[in-house]
Amino acid sequence: MKFPRSTGLPYLCLLCMMLVAAPTAVLAGEDWKPVDPADLALKEAVVEKDADAEVLTWDVHVNDNDVNDLVFNHYIRIKVFTERGREAHSRIDILYPGKAKVKDIAGRTIKPDGQIVELKKEDIFERTVVKAGGRKVKAKSFAMPGVEPGAIVEYRWREVFSSASADHLRLELQRNIPVRNVTYHIKPYSGPYASAMRAQYFNMTEAPKIVKKDGFYTMTMTNMPAFREEPRMPPEDQVRTWMLLYYTPDNKLAPERYWKEFGKRVHELVKPLMKANDEVKKAAEEAVGDATTPEQKLERIYDFCRTKIKNSSNDAAELTNAEREKLKANKSPSDTLKRGVGDGADIDLLFAAMASAIGLDARVALTAARNKIFFNPNFTDPYFLEPTSIAVRLGDGWRFFNPGYNYLPFGGLRWQEEGTMTLVTDPKEPEFVITPVTPPGRSLEKRTAKLRLDADGTLEGDVRIEYTGQAAVEIREYNDEDSPAQREETLKSRVQARLGGAELSNIRIENVTDSVKPFVYAYHVRVPGYAQRTGKRLFIQPAFFQRGVGQLFPTSTRRNDIYFNYPWSEEDYVEIQLPEGYALDNAEAPSQFGAAELSQYQPKLSVSTDGRILVYHRKFFFGGDKAKGGVATPFPASSYSQLKAYFDELHKQDNHTIAIKQGAAATATTSTAKPSN
Amino acid sequence: MFYRLVGFCCLLMALAAPAYAIGDEAPAWLKQAASSPAPSYKRDVPAVVLLKESTATVETDGRMTTVSNYVVRILTREGRGYATSVVNYDVSTDKVREMRAWLVRPDGSVRKYGKDETVDKIAASYDLYNESRQRIISAAEEAEVGSVFGYTTTTEERPTFPQTGWAFQGRVPVLVSRMTLVLPAGWQANAITFNAPRVEPTVNGTSYTWEMRSLAPIEPEEASPSIKTLAPHLAINYGPAAANTTAAATSGLTRTFEKWADVSRWYTELADPQAEPDDAIALKARELTANAKTELEKIQAIGRYVQNIQYVSIQIGIGGYRPHAATEVLAKNYGDCKDKATLMRAMLRAVKLQSYAVLIYSGDRTFVREEWVSPTQFNHCIIAVRISDETQVASVVVHPTLGRLLIFDATDDTTPVGDLPDHEQGSFALVAAGDTGALLRMPVLPPEASRNERQTEISMSPDGSITATLVERRTGQSAASLRSAFKGLSRPQFQQMVERWVNHGASGAKVSKVEPADEHTEGRFRINLEFSADRYAQSLQNRLLVFKPAIVGRSQTMTLSEPTRKHPVVLESEAYMETVRVRLPEGFDVDELPDATKLESAFGTYSATYEIKEGQLVFTRIFTQRAGVFPAEQYSAVRDFYGRIRAAEESPVVLAKK
């Protein structure tokens, strides 16, 4: 290993992510790189022709071979094409921590006619952006002079971070504008006890070619498109092109061997933390009670840990701040048990200890959260892994539990840890296991509405919505930090956003922090003008819960893959009592359709035998897969048009309208149904 | 970059998380305030201020030392943010002498916050450089419902003007709000009360105290006036008594203002020397106006150029009032609002047009009050150009001496010459023209000046599918809002915005053409669209086709969901007109048309008509919204007006198979 010099690595990584630019090769005082007249004459970007600006050169020297310092030399050259590009790229803020140094800033603007306007020293402002607790963040800021569309701006600076290392340093290869050429020149530490520096590349079709010169390893990427966020895309680290520098021992192990060794080491490390003493054993026996099967026993222990130990990690835990401050760190499951309080990790470890105490095989399991990255074990570094659950062997396989996270029922995991490669630690044979995905039917949004329609089009009645599974976890997280008044306000805003003019009353929100029961919204609603009147008819959308909901994919193009956090299902039951004297007029039911195991849409429309009550029943699920229970992988961008067409059709069918007519004899192709009481 | 700065600040503020000792004592004033009984409020009121008081002591040299005490009780989880103390200061003139805070928990335990928990940060992150900073102590993370947070601060400043203000409250209720001003012997103060009956001070020698008690919460409501227009506040002038000339001479107070002309004179002296054109400016101005045939064309050419200069703000000295020299602004091609105004004035002068700087408040047309003569009321600078009768545009005011003045915002690059940003229309603004300067009401442009005209041609097939062309022509502020999106978004993003807009009304629509055209100088923005949508009209039993002729929604709609409200409704000028022609599918006749709608009210007018002409359905809707502030008593009428418009626009047409 290298000398442990890094004191501010996370900080430095963050800084590197946030910096405006990270360019180049030329040390201050040296001449600027020659400007190609063709670049000056350019009228539109090369990499993406619609771009407002394009980076021509982004060049960074990273020198980690200094005894004390990590030194960056940045150089960036940008061609501006439009007013919007000028607006976005003529002001520069270089942020740095107070202990770092930023120096040798130079910049210039080359106008389209070749005239050069230099950035003057007096136009560079140094500011302490914020200082607190003895720390500072400073900034050097400047505006490039004379920028106009067609101009090229270029600037460079040097950054020195003392007592820092390039170990686990993130280097970006994409920006929010396209990049013609990005080059990193990296000089690793080569002093005593030096480890080998390696680079892990993410989201590249092929690794770049590395050239070594003057002690620097140089890698170049060309024609990098702009990075753009899109709704429902995979996590940014899974989409953006970037690389991670890290040091490892020279004798790098093959992945299988590496993770085996790593899993053993972690197991040795956590083993004492899962130790069950006599009190823990006794508590386990008492919790298990008369349960007979291993699963029943484990469920009793799970319930014990979830309900008898206060979870200090939970936002909604009934702990005052004074109580939280008095909490001592639990050093063992016995401490957690004795004090009756612990954070999520303490509770997981107590659960593991109690499970072990009744003879079950329990281990700490490590996962890379799916909302951050899709883990690939070929990258042999624990950078992304975190202990997230307890694996318990039940029958022939491992099951995963996380009682330290309050909103999960027995056997449930957060969606972020579902469908991921999870390392089960072991003294001999650690192994990767893919965690199961909750099938769509268990993450259900079940909605019921009993409504009355007036002849003027006003719809009024009672609504109840229940959430289970991942849908419940998500909505609990959305609500748990809010006051009851705020929760009601949030609900009102959500309903009114789709049903303009809706009035809500008698709002009840139940089981906000109870992981066993469904999360419930119940309210009375009045929606003036819900149905539209013409001279003879009233038109009504039976899909009350979909009225005013926009399309999922309204835009025609897509750059990134499409990603749904978890599979889900919906079930709606809507009864609408029709106004006196009205009957269906040429009504027909919306069409059902589906995509085999992946998704099905099944709407049903019927009318009571007396013709007075319209009954709409809708079932929908998405993300199902017979083999795996649920789909947790992204859909490629190339499938966007099919996916969009599917959800467009869903939207169309949800917006299906029926007509009712005063004094009409019912004409319809709906079935009859008996309304619920 | 700005968001990165903010994000970084948040990170460091989090690092200032306190590590305090338990068992601290709160000061007596805080304990006393904390024991005050408060009435019960609606459950969504987040906090109640138990005490808000400041004592400002002015020295004979003008220096002011202010001690402020503040106590707030947290009523809901959302109210925790109120457990925060913020002091604004200017590094060049002010000092924060003391800043301490305490959190009294529901169990009575006390936490003390001092220097180690204080965050010091830049106040204006967007500015390239600004000497304004903030000191912050936040107990928001530690505060829980029922906690009482209190702080005391002592600041020393050298005010630029002998004027100060006092906000008795913000949105949350206040039990006691008190401002005391202690002046040197022979000095006096007077105050104006806004948004409440006059608050008389208690005067003890040269000490003045203004106090209000039991102030109710001011709840946010849709389309409501700003909090500054609703919450009671004071504007205070002070200084040596008129007869005390010696005191006035030694006070160090640079300026006092009796009337608006005084402010005009002061600012003119500050700004005019900066607006001197040099050869480079004159050359540029001549180059820009070479093809201009009229006075208006000259103003347009120069105005467009200046609006396109990069906005960069560098605030140093004299409260950020003095603009940079026009010569410098031209050379660097960047500047802030007053720099842009200055450069434009210099260029206009070079082509023999007279103009004046105009100080205004950007963002709230009701902010500036005529009764209080003070430059501190302004946060923005625009310009007034003296024009002849030959120039006929809407954004003109008439000054009693200077005559016709064209008002123009050289910073708002979406609003061309002849128009004015809607938040500036109707505001008071100071025309800085030396002794003849005056506070004038800015022009209010009629609804027709901000108009959206749309023509939609639709061809419908027997299965209800449509192909459509849409041409939208916008003028005035309606054009400015679309122009703003066009300028702010990349081309693909703009395309996607349009797709979302069309798809909102026509599910699954495919937009095949988006052709925007920014006719900036003329104040127009045009957009041509072509799109198609499968089965837009819904088929019923293969016999009827049902569809809404208002396919593409208007961009602005008022919802007003709450059944009652407390505050007036603020409406902006807007005019909208659309004609939709639907070529009916072969084999279908109209079975039913919605009833025509005609609404007339004090807030505006609306009409929707339907007729069949030569195999086409012609749907027309015309909407005019009048700018105004309508009292809460008229709310149900306003709500009904918009509810009826919404219903009319949702109404379907029914076609039947022949």
Q: Does B5 touch chain A (CB under 8 A)?
A: yes
Q: How confident is the model at residue A626 (pLDDT cuts 50, 70, 90)?
A: low
Q: What is the pLDDT of residues A88-111, one digit of tens each?
A: 999 999 999 999 999 999 999 999
How far is residue A161 from each of residues A43, A156, A169, A532, measured CA to CA in Å?
A: 39, 17, 13, 67
- The verdict on a CB contact (< 8 Å) between B4 and A93 is yes
**At residue B341, what are phi and psi to the nearest 5 degrees?**
-60, -40
- The C-alpha atoms of residue A261 and residue A267 are separated, in whole angstroms, by 10
Which two structure tokens, joined as six digits, stand for B461? 């097939």
Residue A207 CB coordination number (10 Å) = 11
Which are the contacts of A396, defined by CB distance < 8 A and separation ≥ 6? none
Q: Does A320 touch chain B (CB under 8 A)?
A: yes
Contact B4, A17 (CB under 8 A): no
Q: Of A412, A411, A473, nearest to A444 (Cα)?
A: A473
Mean pLDDT value across residues A524-547: 93
Sheet bearing B163-167, strands edge to edge: B163-167, B233-240, B187-194
Q: Of B359, B426, B366, nearest to B195 (Cα)?
A: B366
A-B contacts (CB, under 8 Å): 228
Q: Of A662, A663, A665, A576, nearest to A613 (Cα)?
A: A576
Among chain B residues, the shortest Cα distance to A98 is held by: B12
> Which B residues 454-473 touch A at CB under 8 Å?
none
Which two structure tokens, joined as six digits, stand for B82? 């109120």
Percent of chain A residues past pLDDT 90, beyond the cut: 81
- The verdict on a CB contact (< 8 Å) between A657 and B546 is yes
Mutate which of A91, A130, A640 to test chain B, going by most B C-beta atoms within 10 A? A130
- Is residue A192 pLDDT above 90, yes or no? no
The residues pairing with A465 across neighbouring beta strands, listed in sequence order, are A447, A521
H or E element at residue B639: helix B635-650
- The C-alpha atoms of residue A388 and residue A414 are separated, in whole angstroms, by 10
Residue B279 CB coordination number (10 Å) = 9
pLDDT confidence of residue A6? 31
pLDDT confidence of residue A513? 86
Q: Does A36 touch chain B (CB under 8 A)?
A: no
From the number of C-beta atoms within 10 Å of its C-beta (0-12, 13-18, 19+), residue A272 rates as exposed
Overall pTM > 0.80: yes
From the number of C-beta atoms within 10 Å of its C-beta (0-12, 13-18, 19+), residue A575 rates as buried
Where are the alpha helices (H) located in B289-417, listed in sequence order? 295-307, 326-332, 337-350
Which residue is associated with the tokens 């008439």?
B398
Which of B44, B117, B308 is the closest to A485 by Cβ? B44
Which two structure tokens, joined as six digits, stand for A15? 């800084």
Q: What is the pLDDT of residues A17-49, one digit of tens each?
A: 333 333 333 333 457 999 999 999 999 999 999
- The C-alpha atoms of residue A639 and residue A644 are separated, in whole angstroms, by 9
- The verdict on a CB contact (< 8 Å) between B5 and A139 is yes
pLDDT confidence of residue B541? 84
Mutate which of B122, B221, B507 to test chain A, going by most A C-beta atoms within 10 A? B507
- The verdict on a CB contact (< 8 Å) between A145 and B331 is yes
Residues of B in contact with A141 (CB under 8 A): 128-129
Radius of gyration of chain A, Cα coordinates, nearest whole angstrom: 31
Q: Of A600, A648, A647, nearest to A439 (Cα)?
A: A600
Handedness of CA A481, A484, A486, A488 (dihedral sign): positive
- Is residue A5 pLDDT above 80, yes or no? no
The residue type of A41 is A
Q: What is the pLDDT of residues A471-524, one digit of tens each?
A: 999 999 999 889 999 999 999 999 999 998 899 999 999 999 888 899 999 999
Among chain A residues, the shortest Cα distance to B506 is held by: A652
Which are the contacts of A665, defined by CB distance < 8 A and separation ≥ 6? A583
Mutate which of B546, B557, B593 to test chain A, going by most A C-beta atoms within 10 A? B546
Which of B78, B121, B544 is the closest to A482 by Cβ? B78
- The C-alpha atoms of residue B310 and residue A149 are separated, in whole angstroms, by 11
Question: Would you say the ipTM is above 0.85?
Answer: yes
Q: Of A107, A83, A112, A79, nearest to A93 (Cα)?
A: A107
Among chain A residues, the shortest Cα distance to B561 is held by: A501
Mean pLDDT value across residues A177-204: 92
Q: Of B26, B52, B14, nearest to B113 (Cα)?
A: B26
Q: Of B87, B70, B83, nearest to B138 (Cα)?
A: B83
Distance from CA of B400 to the nearest CA of A (A): 40
pLDDT confidence of residue B252? 54
Contact B394, B523 (CB under 8 A): no
- The C-alpha atoms of residue B70 and residue B85 are separated, in whole angstroms, by 9
- The verdict on a CB contact (< 8 Å) between A320 and B499 is no
Q: Which residues of chain B have pLDDT under 70?
A: 1-24, 243-255, 317-319, 555-557
> Which B residues 506-535 touch A at CB under 8 Å?
507-508, 510-511, 535
Q: Does B559 touch chain A (CB under 8 A)?
A: yes
Q: What is the pLDDT of residues A99-146, one digit of tens each?
A: 999 999 999 999 999 999 999 999 999 999 999 988 999 999 999 999
DSSP-derived letter for residue B82 is G
How far is residue B214 from each of residues B36, B42, B321, measured CA to CA in Å?
A: 12, 15, 38
Residue A565 CB coordination number (10 Å) = 16
DSSP-derived letter for residue A636 is P
- The verdict on a CB contact (< 8 Å) between A146 and B333 is yes
Among chain B residues, the shortest Cα distance to A643 is held by: B508
Mean pLDDT value across residues A605-613: 91
Q: What is the pLDDT of residues B265-292, one digit of tens each?
A: 999 999 999 999 999 999 999 999 999 9
Low-confidence winner among A348-362, A364-378, B536-550 (lowest mean pLDDT):
B536-550
Mutate which of B103, B138, B531, B541 to test chain A, going by most A C-beta atoms within 10 A? B541
pLDDT confidence of residue A589? 87
Q: What is the pLDDT of residues B520-545, one digit of tens each?
A: 989 999 999 999 999 999 998 888 89
Mean pLDDT, chain A, integer: 90
- The C-alpha atoms of residue B312 and residue A143 are separated, in whole angstroms, by 7
Residue A66 CB coordination number (10 Å) = 15
Mean pLDDT value across residues A618-624: 96
Mean pLDDT value across residues A189-213: 88
Which two structure tokens, joined as six digits, stand for A553? 């994919």
Which two structure tokens, joined as six digits, stand for A147? 């920028």
Where are the alpha helices (H) located in A129-254, listed in sequence order? 236-239
